[in-house]
Chain A
Amino acid sequence: MSGDDDHEALDRALAELPAYDLDERRSAQVHRRARGVLVERTRIASRPPWLRTLTRVYDVGLEPALVVCAAVVYLAWAVRSVVGPH
């Protein structure tokens, strides 16, 4: 196949390929999840600026720091209890 006419025919055939959709259940699942994220983002964005800052500080700094601290303390305790108090 070569030439502009052939390419036009090919383009037409490609344009007529059907669009498919994922099944309803999966589609609803994807939609619900993404919608939930949007609603949550909007809820956070509608808070007063100081509360938004506080939330961000907690989400980005405080919460990860607390999780790391807890993990370190637990690890230290676990190692000490295995090795013993020598």
Chain B
Amino acid sequence: MELRDPAPPSKVDAIALDDEKALVRALRRGDARAFDAVYERYRARLFAFLVRLSRSRHVAEDLLQETWLRLARHALELDEDTRLLPWLYTVARNLHTSHRRWSLLDAERLGALRFWAREADELSPFERMAANETERKLEHALAALPVAQREVVLLVCVERMEPTDAARVVGLAPEAFRQRLSRARVALADALVAREERVAVSVTAARKKGRDR
């Protein structure tokens, strides 16, 4: 996994296709250069969104591939006023929901739900990659949120999407979305505080153990 700038520059963008509407028009014609430009522009954001949402790099890779395949399959039928980023997030999010449904069925069948509970305390791929303590704490707190809350925080706070667009992505009315976002922010803040307290407790315990020796 590589660290990149949030918006990597695209060569094709620089040539001509810098406007999203132009990109959509070109995609509707089946222009592969437009596809390259869209891929360059959004792949990192989409991948980061999927990894944070799924907490698994391998799952995110598969879902990312399927998202781009969906765009390739439906490019010719896109509406002219399609906004690509919300469209891609919607597909990615729906694929993740389906994947999760199947994973839950598998987990139930295997009686593996106990392992899921343990998973929240393990490091997510982003935590391992986090450059500093603040990032690590945030990634851990994000990963500990329930998926429904995590996805709204990711879309609005991390991906900086407009709440109205994000509401459409998750299929909620704006007011319901606003409430969920508000609850998610509180839960995230609580998770950060809880983590601080856990760390403090474990440090105290370690010190006590050291003194006892």
Contact = CB atoms under 8 A, between A and B. Distances in A.
Interface of A: 1-2, 6-7, 10-11, 13-15, 17-24, 26-27, 30-31, 33-39, 41-42, 45-46
Contacts of B2: 20-24
A20 B185 contact: no
Nearest to A42: B30
Interface of B: 1-6, 8, 29-30, 32, 35-36, 39, 43-45, 47-48, 51, 57, 60-61, 64-65, 68-69, 71-73, 75-76, 126, 129, 131, 134-135, 138-139, 142, 153, 157-158, 160, 185-186, 188-190, 192-193
A58 to B, nearest CB: 18
Contact of A21 (B1, B29, B139): B1
A42 B71 contact: no
B4 A30 contact: no
B4 A38 contact: no
Contact of A19 (B32, B44, B65, B73): B44
